[in-house]
A and B are shown apart, each in its own frame.
Chain A
């Protein structure tokens, strides 16, 4: 009898441990909010390598990118997860918007086509996520429908969410506005590019995944 109970506990613990090691942590948000910059920062901090290319041109990430295993050790705590960086979600894509960045019409059209495919792929991945970091540009108005739709969707699926107000190094950044827009969520302000406030971010991340 004792043996059966022991095995049962062991199995549960094993499952828990296994699940922990394979937590799928997604990074979502609108285009150009700094999702890949944050993913790169996390990867650089804990793996010593970057995850993907970043650019000022929107929709630089047009495919879901996965880093299989990242282990962070922070303040005597350890956390392992699979990091999934997704293309920026938007409701409109016009290749002419890319022409402003001095790329050829052919490339702009290609980029637009790939971006639409990337958004569909990102939405499809939503249901697989265990936890999600929503990256918002703290210099932009947080009350956009895309932000509300992403966060509302995650709430409906009961997926834990951490909101990152990125680009706090910029003067126009307003973390309080982001906090006011989503009062029921944990909001942490960071500058993924310069690594500002990453300690608080990792603490919040640990709370999120726990």
Chain B
């Protein structure tokens, strides 16, 4: 079963960077895919990678992560200033961050306009055998 855990920004707002990272990683290590409102600061993202690498072992293979946020293309200087001010006051609430365990999320394909989560297929061999069975049935019908 795949569990998606939503984390509103309010839940991490008062935490410091280390606490945020630890909280998110704890959920990911519980094999949950985290959908977090907003995004981490750039330095928090690299800290997250660093902490992830420090925690890799036989069962934990790392994370897959993706952040989507409104593009700043075409925003005027005044708009950017306003946005910067809002970020300073209320944090990086815009956008959404997806973080999941690498043993479940095989790959996150990201284009500017879409995101594809490729998860691991539980039993590819069974699928193959199902396919070959159905082919045989068709042959018999003929």
With an 8 A cutoff between CB atoms, is A93 at the interface?
Answer: yes
CB distance from A112 to the nearest CB of B (A): 7
Which B residues are within 8 Å of any A CB, using their own CB? 41-43, 45-46, 49-50, 52-54, 56, 61-67, 73, 102, 108-112
Given A91-B64, A94-B62, A120-B53 contact (CB < 8 Å) = yes
With an 8 A cutoff between CB atoms, is A65 at the interface?
Answer: no
Given A120-B54, A141-B110, A91-B43 contact (CB < 8 Å) = no
With an 8 A cutoff between CB atoms, is A155 at the interface?
Answer: yes
CB distance from A92 to the nearest CB of B (A): 3
With an 8 A cutoff between CB atoms, is A143 at the interface?
Answer: yes
List B contacts of A152 (CB < 8 A): 42, 45
Contact mask for chain A residues 120-159; partner B; CB cutoff 8 A; 1 contact, 0 none: 1001101000000000000001011110111011011100
Contact call A92/B64, Cβ cutoff below 8 A? yes
Which A residues are within 8 Å of any B CB, using their own CB? 89-94, 112, 116-117, 119-120, 123-124, 126, 141, 143-146, 148-150, 152-153, 155-157, 181, 183
- Distance between Cα atoms of A141 and B66 in the complex (Å): 14
Of chain B, the residue at the smallest CB distance from A109 is B58
Contact call A149/B45, Cβ cutoff below 8 A? yes
- Distance between Cα atoms of A119 and B111 in the complex (Å): 25
What does DSSP make chain A's interface, helix, strand, loop or mixed? helix
- Distance between Cα atoms of A150 and B45 in the complex (Å): 9
- Distance between Cα atoms of A92 and B111 in the complex (Å): 20
Of chain B, the residue at the smallest CB distance from A152 is B42
Of chain B, the residue at the smallest CB distance from A151 is B42
Top 7 A-B residue pairs of the complex, sorted by shortest distance between their CB atoms: A92-B62, A92-B102, A156-B42, A152-B42, A116-B53, A94-B61, A153-B42
**Per a CB cutoff under 8 Å, which of B49, B54, B67, B109 touches A91?**
B49
**Per a CB cutoff under 8 Å, which of A116, A126, A146, A150 touches B56?**
A116
- Distance between Cα atoms of A116 and B53 in the complex (Å): 5
Contact call A156/B43, Cβ cutoff below 8 A? yes
Given A92-B61, A92-B102, A148-B67, A119-B42 contact (CB < 8 Å) = no
Contact call A123/B50, Cβ cutoff below 8 A? yes
